Amino acid sequence: MKGNKGNKQKYIERDRIRSGLLALFPNLESYRHFFEDNREGIQPFIDLALEQGIIEKPEGFENFINENACHPEECKPPEGFTFSNLMEDREKINASGRGLTISVNELVERYHLQGILPAGKVNNAMFSRLKQGPANTRNKRNVLRLLSFWLGYKRPHLGRPWNYETLLKTCPEEQALDSREGTRIAIALYSRKDVIEEKAVKWLKNEIRSCLEDLGLTGQANRLQAYSTTWFYLDLPKERSVTSELSHPRSYNRGMKEAVSIAHQVALRWALSSHSSPRKTLSIGIAAGEFSTMDDYLQSIIKARLPGECVIRMTDYSHLCVQINNIRVIFHETPAVAEMPAGEIITIWSVKGLWNTNFWDFIPALLNDRMLQADSRFDEEFKEVIRLSGNRTESAPGQGKGVIETLLRDPRNSLLGLEIAKTLYFRGRLLEANEILRIVLSTDPSNHIARALRMSIFTDLGINADTYSVSSIRFSRADEEADFIKEVYKPSAEDFFCEAAVSKLGQAITILRLIRREGGRYETGLTELDERDVYRLLDHAQKLFEMGMTVSSTGGQSRYFLMCLMSFKKILKSDPDILKDPEKKILDIQDFCRETAVEIYSALGWLRDDLPEPNRKYTLEKRISDADRSYKDSVLLRASVPSAKYSSATMLWDFSTVLNAGIARDVIGMLREAAELAEKLKNEELSMLSFIRFHKEIMTPDRFIDYTMETIREVEQRVGKTGELESMDASSPLDLEKLGGLKLFCLHI
């Protein structure tokens, strides 16, 4: 019996290797191209075929390929299918970037195929580059070849069409950049009866290049050009449409995000520079469309005289691109108008603020400022500067102008004020951040972002208060911030409603923890709390999340929390003991999460009964994948990225309509990535945004990593470690009974 079992395993292995080789060499043309790229690298593949008995002698390798050749018509991906789609396709890849890298390298090492790569192995960056551009180098093509071998070996059920030639076609022209259209950002210095020195212009040019490097856009530096001595511009070509030549606002998504990131960095760096003065004006214009028609529009919006702090301006079409792609920007409600030289009247949208507290990355100068560090050495100095006591009007020798002093010289610069508050917030200095927000709101009471950050601060302080009486006061302050904006200014940004909702959610979870410890009811003085208070707050949060979905073009953030919240309410109502017993684990034994997912996906039209099963499944998975990618792509703040990765893992584990070995492997890989990303924040003494305990809070990286590793252990106890999952077919369903109702979103409540 053992011998038969061993022989069977040997035949299975031979068939997998045969499938892998034919995926790598679908025809003789592929073989010849391989030989042109790797004259020395073909031998290990021939040796592998010989060892497995696939061919009898080396000369038979070409015959083997030719006899099993794929017709060129079979070597085509589905229309519109890109390499990014492939990497997110759970049927084909079903692994995180890190998990895929590990799996491919294990296969490469096992069969000694390292020779065709300079470093002997693949890495995550190699796959990322194939998402962004054509496979136009030998190394890129070799990474595709090893991936195609991996696909044939690991996913033989996909069939012959998923081979090297098919993968090659997911990369080149479909992902090529369109040199005719894209996003242009223009940055200009103007004088108000003052001379613009050459050193200021030189500083600006160098700082733009520094921004590009810090934002990971080093390759764009060569595109930086000058209109004049004080005016620079940068073209960010859009991705050519994979389905048509028609332009669509979504095709400008990446370019617009990059342009806004650059504008955010340059505007604040200029405000902090020694060259900045009231007599010199920085103006930044962003336009999208055909490059050949942009100059007149950009000159008009940059030269337009606008009231207040309107550094960043956009054309009407750029504004549309921002709105459709849900790029986290807030505009002044009423656009300005200007007349172009030819007499055309154009609309100018000026930026009032960016949701920098969750989505846009830090400003290096602020991270390095001595009074914005995580320790409290400068607390007294901070208080003295804020009080404007008069005892300190100049910076200490050798220190230069501090960022807080810069803000106090011009408190109307709300972008700078919010960035300072954000830096203090992520350094764990919540009370100091609140002081800065007081200054911002004194000059701009309607600032949604400042109000939302205040909500987060009071909610966080309330969650971590020593007594509920103190928590209650802080929660009331958070509510007042939300009510002020809702009643007076009628907000229309999804992020505001999400911030208000997660504040209510944090309050509900705080009361839930309290009554669980007290047997279901908490009483002290005039305060009486029970499950009704929990449900009241959860219902309020649900209404706010629903409003967030209503006002958003994508609704991704609101939809995720809405699914968690609706499921959580069902779990609580199904087991009343959860509200009374602190030892009772919060488990979804009846699988309410998947039930809720199906309800919401059906309501949104993502899960369609009118489609045949293969298309139905593909349509659903693509919509989920696109929504997840859209949200993750919008999170550029390094202190938010680990939590976004953890939330993606939660979405997969808790709400996939079918759970299989591939998804479990992917979830574990994503959780490990989240922990690795959190580890990097420790070097900068940054805390991080976390939803790991369901509600929003600021958390140290060490604590986040501890929670994440505990999550990994809980998952592995139920499904096995990554190595065991690798040995299983990716589509093998998991035993739901063994999972025991484990849901990641409520594991650490």
Please report the pLDDT score of residue 401 as a whole number: 55
Q: How far, in Å, CA of 726 to CA of 10, rounded?
A: 18
DSSP for residue 511: H
Which among 176-190, 350-364, 565-579 has the top mean pLDDT? Answer: 565-579
Please report the pLDDT score of residue 682 as a whole number: 93
DSSP for residue 222: G
CB atoms near residue 531 (< 10 Å): 18
Please, which pLDDT band fits residue 114 given cuts at 50, 70 and 90? confident
- Chain-centroid distance of CA 41 in Å reads 38
Span 713-742, average pLDDT: 87
Please report the pLDDT score of residue 618 as a whole number: 67
Please, which pLDDT band fits residue 497 given cuts at 50, 70 and 90? very high
Has residue 3 got a pLDDT over 80? no
Residues 6+ apart with CB under 8 A from 481: 451, 452, 454, 455, 458
Q: Is residue 380 exposed (0-12), middle (13-18) or buried (19+ Cβ within 10 Å)?
A: exposed
From the list 715, 709, 666, 683, the residue with the least C-alpha distance to 95 is 666
Please, which pLDDT band fits residue 391 given cuts at 50, 70 and 90? very low
Among 11-20, 139-148, 395-404, 474-483, name the one with the lowest average pLDDT.
395-404
- Chain-centroid distance of CA 738 in Å reads 32
More confident residue, 401 or 559: 559
Q: How far, in Å, CA of 279 to CA of 200, rounded?
A: 13
Q: Look up tokens 């809070």; give the residue.
A: 697
Among 224-228, 392-396, 576-580, 735-739, name the one with the lowest average pLDDT.
392-396
Has residue 709 got a pLDDT over 50? yes
Has residue 390 got a pLDDT over 50? no
Q: How far, in Å, CA of 160 to CA of 303, rounded?
A: 59
Span 163-169, average pLDDT: 87
Has residue 691 got a pLDDT over 80? yes
Q: What angle do CA 237, 240, 242 make, to 5 degrees?
A: 160
Is 77 within 8 Å of 166 (Cβ atoms)? yes
Please report the pLDDT score of residue 614 as a whole number: 61
Please report the pLDDT score of residue 178 as a whole number: 56
Please report the pLDDT score of residue 99 as a whole number: 77
Span 276-287, average pLDDT: 90
Please report the pLDDT score of residue 399 as a whole number: 39
Span 184-199, average pLDDT: 87
Span 156-173, average pLDDT: 79
Has residue 502 got a pLDDT over 70? yes
Please, which pLDDT band fits residue 508 given cuts at 50, 70 and 90? very high
The pTM of the full predicted model, rounded to 2 decimals, is 0.77
Span 715-737, average pLDDT: 85
Please report the pLDDT score of residue 239 as a whole number: 67
Please report the pLDDT score of residue 71 as a whole number: 74
Residues 6+ apart with CB under 8 A from 155: 91, 92, 162, 730
Q: What is the pLDDT of residues 308-363, one digit of tens each?
A: 778 999 999 999 999 988 899 999 888 999 888 778 899 999 998 899 888 999 99
What are φ and ψ of residue 589, in 5° steps?
Answer: -65, -35
Span 664-690, average pLDDT: 92
Please report the pLDDT score of residue 94 as a whole number: 65
Percent with pLDDT over 90 in the chain: 45
Has residue 594 got a pLDDT over 90? yes
Please report the pLDDT score of residue 167 as a whole number: 86
3-class DSSP assignment, residue 607 = coil
Residues 6+ apart with CB under 8 A from 81: 170
Please, which pLDDT band fits residue 183 given cuts at 50, 70 and 90? very high
Q: How far, in Å, CA of 350 to CA of 336, rounded?
A: 8
Length of the chain in terms of residues written = 749
b/e for 385-395, b at 16 or more Cβ within 10 A?
bbeeeeeeeee
Among 351-360, 368-377, 418-427, 694-703, name the one with the lowest average pLDDT.
368-377
Q: What is the pLDDT of residues 43-57, one digit of tens each?
A: 889 989 999 899 988
Mean pLDDT score of the chain: 86
Percent with pLDDT over 70 in the chain: 92
Is 224 within 8 Å of 232 (Cβ atoms)? yes
DSSP 15-73: HHHHHHHHHH-SSHHHHHHHHHH-TTTSHHHHHHHHHTTS-SSTTHHHHHHHHTPPPGG
Please report the pLDDT score of residue 245 as a whole number: 43
Please report the pLDDT score of residue 474 as a whole number: 97
Please report the pLDDT score of residue 400 as a whole number: 41
Please report the pLDDT score of residue 243 as a whole number: 38
Has residue 417 got a pLDDT over 80? yes
Has residue 396 got a pLDDT over 70? no
More confident residue, 440 or 343: 440
Span 159-174, average pLDDT: 77
Please, which pLDDT band fits residue 545 given cuts at 50, 70 and 90? very high
